[in-house]
Structure 1
Amino acid sequence: MDDYQQIRQRHQNEEETEKPLLTEYENDNKYAKQPKENKEANNLLKEKPDLIIGCIFLVMGLITRYFQIGKSDIVVGFASQYLKREFYFDVHPPLGKMLIALAGYLVGYDGQWGWDSGATFPENINYKGMRIFCATFGALIVPLAYLTACNLKFPRKICILIGIMVLCENGLIVISKFVLLDPILIFFTSLSFFCLTKFHNQRDKPFSKDWYLWLFLTGVSIGCVTSVKWVGLFAVALVGLHTIWELWDYLGDLNMPMRTYINHWLARIVCLIIVPISVYAFNFYLHFTVLSRSGKGDAQMSSLFQAGLEGIDLSENPLNIAYNSRVTIKNAGYGGGLLHSHVQRYPAGSEQQQVTCYHHKDSNNDWVIKKPWNSEQVPDDKIEYVKNGDIIRLVHVQTTRNLHSHNVKAPITSYMNEVSCYGNATLGDSNDHWKVEIVEDMKTRKPENVRALLTKFRLRHVNSGCLLRSHNVNLPQWGFKQAEVACDKSKKADNQSNNMWNIERHWNDLMEPAPKATYKSKFINDFIDLNVAMWTSNNALVPDPDKEPDQLVSQAWQWPLALVGIRMCSWNDTTVKYYMMGNPFIWWFAFISIISLGTYSLFYILRRQRKITYVWGKNEWFDYCYRGLITFLGWGLHYLPFYIMGRVLYLHHYFPTIYFGIFVIGFMVDHISFYFKKVPMIYNIIVISVGTIIVISFFFFSKLTYGFTGPASQVKNREWLPSWHMATLSD
């Protein structure tokens, strides 16, 4: 038996001897069923101290987050589009932004002000109220952390220590003081963890009301966290791994009937799959319902979706496309832009006029459909519809040049052919000819005519056989960072959505608008389109090699060691300056605790494998694995994926991770301190010392947390690491 187990065993024996002896009546009836009222009363009395302490932490959390919240009147954050009801595009799901818009509505903000980052708030905007709304979410994670630690069955001293660490985490305070998504994200992350631990504690009462309640609330909470930012999927992964572990454990219980085991599966499928997806989808339904007017984000959505927005005239499109019609042509790939050209030329290759895809609407997106050069042109007063298989020319309205392709390498995707604009109304050749190939129509099985908004078609270059294509490759600065358009000659090109197009805007004075209700999209299509566009845009958030390094950007390896921080606004002497950094001792303790947890666990596993006798109490090894594993997984799942992400990274991406890191600290402090539980003074000294260091560190860096004015040199004594640059940053 090792020292750790001897100490634990002696401690348990002493606890048992200290228990009062049962009377003869009590001993005979100790397994008798207690009245329900007594049980509820006992549970309430047992939980009452934790609830009181939780309320104290809530008050302290509100104080630390609300303190001097209006000190700076500089804009950090956003919240306008929902209040103007104008559709916009963002890489994040809508729940967090809708909640911020709700905050604006509650304080009387109408959404008309620009809300430009770095600007000064006008007097008529109650920005303090909006900040308080977001700070409240940041404050709520403090009592949630304490109560979650209670659910994990940590000793109360450790629970309080965990609450203090979340309370005094400087980075979590700074991020909560502005109108940002992050405090909302961290709140729902902590709520998901709380509900999961609460549900786990119902293991002995499967299919009871409480069991179903907390399973359902776990599903709701992970649906909410995913609806704020996609990093919420890491919380989903934590719940999913816990579920797999439970179901695998139940599979080995030979006393469990198969019907009961199947019911466990069904309950989790409903509550942890169907419920979260429903919550996520419902938030998008609200998103589409509220944003009913045309706005800056229209072009990211399908043409059919845009036709249903107020203030846009797509619903007035004539239905059937005809020769001499003026049109805009949208790529049918997810997040695809509009076929576009401008007077600038390619710097290499043919050096002819550039053709790109552009997500914003302007006159350079307009084209006129003409017959090929060798055919008689349709008179301006006649209507002839464009049919499947027709050969057409596309003439750029602003420059009168023809859409053209030839055997020249595309500027970026060199294995495809270049697409350009060439010639004029009288000059051109057969490389200007494109064949229309209808792929599908949303309302007709066998369409003959190309129809605005409804028909997807390919444009095949007649001479080379390649297909007009746009994809998620941006041209360099000489192409204004717009999407490359090329001609795809691969054998598998026919079925790729990036090689398909539809007519978005259609003008023809000889034709009447389509009947009402012709252009109406389905929610499921809009939901999928927007999510794929978000995914595509997220993947495009990569560092720009043409720009100077951004001082705000950091790397994932820098976060656990607290090597970087972020200034939240201008750094001149007259501005209230905030420096967002974590409480360094919390971050360093978390890193040390992660390493220690891995070391201890490996040591125990090796000893068990070697059959070295352990005297773990009943369920102690299970509790060690559960608490150690779930806190480590929470940390690892929220951190390690950033090493394989190509997108730009910032310090705030680590904040959900450090929340779980704090629980790892609590777990390791409790585990190591157990060696000294025979000498309570030493155990208390360890816990109090850690808490004291955290609190002192919080106050030492609070000047940066709550904002300061004057020269940055006055905080030079807080610049412990040269990489922090808090005293040397300049605009």
Structure 2
Amino acid sequence: MASTTATPEATLRQRNVPASSKKAKNGVSDDVETDKVPNAVAPAKAGSELEYKLALGLVTALAFLTRFWGISHPDEVVFDEVHFGKFASYYLERTYFFDVHPPFGKLLFAFMGWLVGYDGHFHFENIGDSYITNKVPYVAFRSLPAILGALTVSVVYMIMWESGYSLPACLVAAGLVLLDNAHIGQTRLILLDATLVFAMACSLLCYIKFHKLRHEPFSRKWWKWLILTGFALSCDISTKYVGLFAFITIGSAVCIDLWDLLDVKRPGGALTLPQFGKHFAARAFGLIIMPFIFYLFWFQVHFSILNRSGPGDDFMTPEFQETLSDNIMLANAVTIDYYDTISIRHKETKAYLHSHPDRYPLRYDDGRVSSQGQQVTGYPFNDTNNYWQILPPGPDDQKLGQHIKNHDLVRLRHIVTDTILLSHDVASPYYPTNQEFTTVPIGDAYGDRAADTLFEIRIEHGKANQEFKSISSHFKLIHNPSKVAMWTHSKPLPEWGFKQQEINGNKQLAQSSNVWLVEDIASLPADHARRAKPEKKVKTLPFLRKWFELQRSMFWHNNQLTSSHPYASLPYQWPFLLRGVSFWTQNDTRQQIYFLGNPIGWWLASSVLAIYVGIVLADQFSLRRGLDAMDRRTRSRLYNSTGFFFLAWATHYFPFFVMGRQLFLHHYLPAHLASALVAGSVVEFLFSTDSAESDYQPSKSGKKVAPTTKRRLSARERLAGQSMAGAWIATAVIMALVAFGWYFFLPLTYGYPGLTAPEVNRRKWLGYDLHFAK
């Protein structure tokens, strides 16, 4: 196909700027050089607008075909559909649940279920549960991510088109996503990643369209694309918190843009400080304030829908739970009196405060000496050794029948061993900085050790004289003399502690992991008047208070996802596709769904990232040696447009190296999309002669001279045509290889047909832990 050589006037027209315009309103020049902006835009070098539209239609049709083909298989719950399908059901039942991810993506699933008339009766309890038997409209649920996944391919194509790349470059970038098995596999199931990746891609596209209007600041279109960029960013972070990485990408480009606007030597004249302030305020409003408002809006919808008590109650405070109807915990709350026998349970680990006659060893493994006192541990099961009698601070206090209140001092008597809970200045088994918890005989508790057996009941968010109640009063047990909080953690003690949990005194009082609750009053008969359940009215809390509480709980539990997982992987493994994730298997048919990208496409994209870095380093080295091998426009695109895509890849990839939580291959999908954009850009750079020649040739004196003669221009056109033929050949070869990889791994992506052992082994390219290999 013949190349189209762009004139300066054509370049300006593509930027929506009149060729004759010298200065736009608000002091922004129309002739800002492309090497001064974060994402330079140049005209397409090959293909008419009709050809671009036809290619877009073809790519979109293929994207829908690859995502929807066989979407009804398997008709069973697959992998994390147990979570996100369940959450959709809870929304439809208006039952409160807890999840570490923001609500937007889950609300979309609930909306899809509502559209098809689903009532939420199925709770997706186990992988392999039948959708057909339980009459679940699972195809409708899976259609949502499939639609978004297909549209993501179109958005990738449009990003390249809007950035001014040639048709081959657009097809390479879109093709790497279109024929990627990981993107296909993740968008055919009831999972959040399709929403996340689509929103991330839209944020890049909207920002590029906004940036192309930089010479028309504060126009209607300028505002439209600024707000749409903010909305896309909001949808990104409202689906998963890793959507913050898109904010870093766009924010970095905006900072570069603002820095250039601040330059008094910028072409077209400097902005005044009030004009610059207007630009800054507009971007802050569109990319920070508006996204945050949208983000809060989805939580408001979340709270409005989930107004009934449910499985998420335990993660919230009693005050929050009082805003939910039918709350069993609050209905069963009983006021606790002195001399009641109670069982105390840790809120987060669910372990009971426990003791038994066995004692701490004389020395721990690290050589430290213990008190050899009676062990106090956390025990996961209900047991008589979990019973404690709550006593007043003094032996002669007449408090029988009196209610315990917030900030009261108490003693706890272990019923079975008839000893009193104590903490003292002796290091705990695992934490040398934390105090040991033990028990002492009653005589010592009211004698020389009296002060060390006093504990304060401190109710979370409690008021003065608030009554202490079972179940609903979440509290911290504060050792009165030393002011440490009773605390436990999930790491089991050695054999001498029977693998139970360590109890110790934590000096960090503010930590939410210090919170306990009284599960039951064992000494109170079931028919006692104190157990009466009067009808309680549903209370209200301000939205921001509920939002802050939920945010704290979400962030804390997200950070606790540090346990090992058989299919977890590390960031350094992702670009090389060293391992995947088993989603589903069926033994009878030898079918399996194994989450894995297209190895050829991933290795190609990762290689191109390295090539891009090499090109930039080589160019910088050449410039240092006085050699200039590129024209201004080519270098601008290489550093700014391709650099913007590389920035998107880096900001969506490198932050995972500092995360301590579980990580899986799907976390790389946004970065992989950005790497596909880089790949398309570099293909154009390598196969376009337009980058080898500038519109103006420098003279020997160093000054620019007029364009070459008409005869010379025709020669360039012929060379460009040969170049585009090379680009098309390269594109065809790349797509053929990628298509082979896509087709070869299709049985693992679609879950059918079943493969024989030799067929499975042929697909273990890097030792993938596939099933049915024998």
| TM-score for both structures, normalised by structure 1 | 0.81
Mapped to 2, the partners of 1:636 and 1:347 lie a distance apart of 54
Q: 1:23 is matched with which residue?
A: none
SS at match of 2:487: strand
Q: How does 1:326-345 map to 2 (within 5 A)?
A: 340-342=352-354
Q: 2:175 aligns with which of 151, 164, 167?
A: 164
Q: CA contact under 8 A between 2:318 and 2:473: conserved in structure 1?
A: no
Q: CA contact under 8 A between 1:337 and 1:357: conserved in structure 2?
A: no
Q: Tell me by how many angstroms 1:159 deviates.
A: 1.0
Query: Amino acid of the residue matched to residue 323 of structure 2?
Result: G
Q: Tell me by how many angstroms 1:666 deviates.
A: 0.4
Q: 1:295 aligns with which of 310, 319, 324?
A: 310
Q: Tell me by how many angstroms 1:601 deviates.
A: 0.7
Q: Where in structure 1 are there 5+ consecutive unaligned residues?
A: 1-10, 20-28, 34-42, 545-549
Q: How does 1:66-215 map to 2 (within 5 A)?
A: 66-76=68-78, 77-78=81-82, 79-80=85-86, 81-115=90-124, 116-123=126-133, 124-215=135-226
Q: How does 1:17-416 map to 2 (within 5 A)?
A: 31=20, 50-76=52-78, 77-78=81-82, 79-80=85-86, 81-115=90-124, 116-123=126-133, 124-254=135-265, 255-313=270-328, 323-324=338-339, 340-342=352-354, 348=360, 352=374, 354-356=376-378, 369-372=390-393, 374-380=395-401, 383=402, 386=405, 388=407, 390-394=408-412, 403-416=421-434
Q: 1:569 is matched with which residue?
A: 584
Q: How does 1:608-623 map to 2 (within 5 A)?
A: 608-613=623-628, 616-617=631-632, 619-623=633-637
Mapped to 1, the partners of 2:97 and 2:417 lie a distance apart of 30
Q: Tell me by how many angstroms 1:276 deviates.
A: 1.6
Q: Tell me by how many angstroms 1:341 deviates.
A: 2.3
Q: Where in structure 2 are there 5+ consecutive unaligned residues?
A: 11-17, 23-43, 362-371, 690-718
Deviations 1:301-343 (A, max 9, x none): 1221112222215556889875356888788xxx856783257
Change (3 A) 1:221 1:647: same
Change (3 A) 1:720 1:511: closer
Q: Tell me by how many angstroms 1:265 deviates.
A: 1.0
Q: CA contact under 8 A between 2:485 and 2:509: conserved in structure 1?
A: no
Q: 1:487 aligns with which of 495, 502, 505?
A: 505
SS at match of 2:619: helix
Q: Tell me by how many angstroms 1:701 deviates.
A: 2.2
Q: Tell me by how many angstroms 1:615 deviates.
A: 5.8
Query: Amino acid of the residue matched to residue 208 of structure 1?
Result: S
- Are 1:679 and 2:752 counterparts? no
Mapped to 2, the partners of 1:562 and 1:495 lie a distance apart of 42
Q: CA contact under 8 A between 2:334 and 2:530: conserved in structure 1?
A: no
Q: Tell me by how many angstroms 1:695 deviates.
A: 1.9
Greater mean deviation of Cα atoms: 295-304 or 505-514: 505-514
Q: 2:647 aligns with which of 630, 633, 637?
A: 633
Mapped to 2, the partners of 1:155 and 1:118 lie a distance apart of 46
Deviations 1:503-536 (A, max 9, x none): 8999995699999779643322322222222222
Q: Tell me by how many angstroms 1:228 deviates.
A: 1.0
Q: CA contact under 8 A between 2:9 and 2:19: conserved in structure 1?
A: no
Mapped to 1, the partners of 2:285 and 2:340 lie a distance apart of 51
Query: Amino acid of the residue matched to residue 352 of structure 2?
Result: H
Q: Tell me by how many angstroms 1:84 deviates.
A: 2.7
Q: 1:547 is matched with which residue?
A: none
Q: Tell me by how many angstroms 1:717 deviates.
A: 6.2
Q: 2:542 is matched with which residue?
A: 522
Q: CA contact under 8 A between 1:357 and 1:485: conserved in structure 2?
A: no
Q: 2:28 is matched with which residue?
A: none
- Percentage of identical aligned residues: 28
Q: Tell me by how many angstroms 1:404 deviates.
A: 3.7
Q: CA contact under 8 A between 2:349 and 2:490: conserved in structure 1?
A: no
Change (3 A) 1:424 1:587: farther
Q: Tell me by how many angstroms 1:222 deviates.
A: 1.0
| TM-score for both structures, normalised by structure 2 | 0.77
Q: Tell me by how many angstroms 1:686 deviates.
A: 1.6
Q: CA RMSD in A?
A: 4.2
Query: What is the aligned residue count?
Result: 680
SS at match of 1:110: coil
SS at match of 1:376: coil
Mapped to 2, the partners of 1:294 and 1:398 lie a distance apart of 36
Q: CA contact under 8 A between 2:203 and 2:246: conserved in structure 1?
A: yes
Q: 1:470 is matched with which residue?
A: 487
Query: Amino acid of the residue matched to residue 418 of structure 1?
Result: E
Change (3 A) 1:347 1:100: farther
Q: 1:702 is matched with which residue?
A: 746
Mapped to 2, the partners of 1:342 and 1:454 lie a distance apart of 21
Deviations 1:116-167 (A, max 9, x none): 2232324322222221222111111111111111122111221122222221
SS at match of 1:204: coil
Q: 1:419 is matched with which residue?
A: 437
Query: Amino acid of the residue matched to residue 486 of structure 1?
Result: N
Q: Tell me by how many angstroms 1:677 deviates.
A: 3.6
SS at match of 1:374: coil
Q: How does 1:570-719 map to 2 (within 5 A)?
A: 570=585, 572-613=587-628, 616-617=631-632, 619-675=633-689, 677=720, 679-680=722-723, 681-716=725-760, 718-719=762-763
Mapped to 2, the partners of 1:726 and 1:497 lie a distance apart of 41
